[in-house]
Amino acid sequence: MIMVMISQDEDSLAGLLADFFRSKGILSMKVDSIIPGADNTMLDSTGKYVIISTGIHCNGVLEAASYGSKSFTAAVCINPVFDSGLKKKMSGISVPVLFISGNDDASPECISATNYHDLTSGSKHARIKCRSSEISGRMEQVFDAILKFLGD
């Protein structure tokens, strides 16, 4: 079983992701926040529980992962916004992390995803064949990248 928790964001990407996962028969829910350092264990060990975040909200998920959060078993960060204050904490991340961006190397989102990937041991970086700003129109490719990541 895979359950997806999607952190809220300002744009419509969280809603698109939740709807897309539901259309594929995967239970998904939106959450307002991930609290770094909190042990809000609401999940059991029968499946994969993935937190998906976008933009600036990736930083909260990465910080929670660096504290050993037991609220999720994997994290996906789409178009993250780099925060240099997290650099030292990245080595403490113990859950698998997938960073997703477009393949436009010069965009801030792709640069951020690359920087975070380089700092996070064992992480993956999937580049969707589009500009980072167009990812919301590539849900099938995003979904495939996430399923491939979870299958690894």
What secondary structure letter does DSSP report for 18? H
pTM above threshold 0.85: no
What is the identity of the amino acid at 57?
H
Give residue-wise pLDDT tens across range 91-131. 889 889 999 999 998 999 999 999 999 999 999 999 999 99
Give residue-wise pLDDT tens across range 56-102. 888 888 988 888 766 678 888 999 999 998 988 898 898 899 999 99
Q: Which of 13, 95, 4 is nearest to 52 (CA)?
A: 4
- The answer to whether 64 and 49 have CB atoms below 8 angstroms apart is no
Ordered by where they begin, the domains of the chain are 2-151 (3.40.50.1820)
